[in-house]
Amino acid sequence: MAVKERGGAMPENGLGRREILGVAGVAACGLALAGCGTGGAKAQQSIKGKVIAKTADVPVGGGKLIEDLQLVVTQPAEGVYKAFSSVCTHKGCAVSTPKENIIKCACHGSEFAADSGKATKGPATAPLASFQIKVEGDGIVVV
Ligand code: FES
C-alpha cells in the first residue's frame, strides 16, 4: 500500500512528522506478514504448509527468529514448539531472539512469554500474534 502524498505539503490537521510516520507505520502494517490485528490469521494462510524452521535450530527455553517471515519460533518446554509474529505489539519493532523463555523487544523494553506470546512487561499490552504449527520430521510446519 502506497502512502499518498499531497504535493509534499504538510497536512493541515496539526499532525507533526512523528505522527505522520506513525500513520505510515500502520499503513505498512497491512503489508507485513503478521502482527497487525487480524493479520496473523491471514498471514497464516499464506504460509500454510511451509517449513519455517528446523527443530534443531530452536533451543529449549530459547527460540529462532525467521526475519523474512517476521516470525519467532520458541521451544518453551522440551518438544513443545510455538510460533508468533516477531512484530512487537507496542510500536512494531522486531523482537529479539528469545532467551530464558522470554521474548524481548529492545525498542522500549516490552517482554512476552515464550509459551503464549502474552505481554508480561510493558509498554506493550497485547500479545504477539500466534501461529498454529506442527512438527513434521525435523521441520516446524505452519498448519
Ligand atoms: S516497539 Fe517493542 S517495546 Fe516498543
Instruction: Return the domain boundaries, the chain.
Output: 4-142
- CB 67, CB 53: distance < 8 Å: no
86 within ligand 1 shell (Cβ under 6 A): no
| One CATH from 2.102.10.10, 2.60.40.10, 2.30.30.90, 3.30.1540.10 for 4-142 | 2.102.10.10
Q: Give tens-digit pLDDT for 50-106.
A: 999 999 999 999 999 999 999 999 999 999 999 999 999 999 999 999 999 999 999
pTM: 0.72
State whether residue 12 is helix, strand or coil. Answer: coil
Per-residue buried b or exposed e for 36-61, using 16+ beta carbons within 10 Å of the residue's own CB:
beebbeebbeebeeeebbebeebeee
123 within ligand 1 shell (Cβ under 6 A): yes
88 within ligand 1 shell (Cβ under 6 A): yes
Distance 5 CA to ligand 1 centre (A): 27
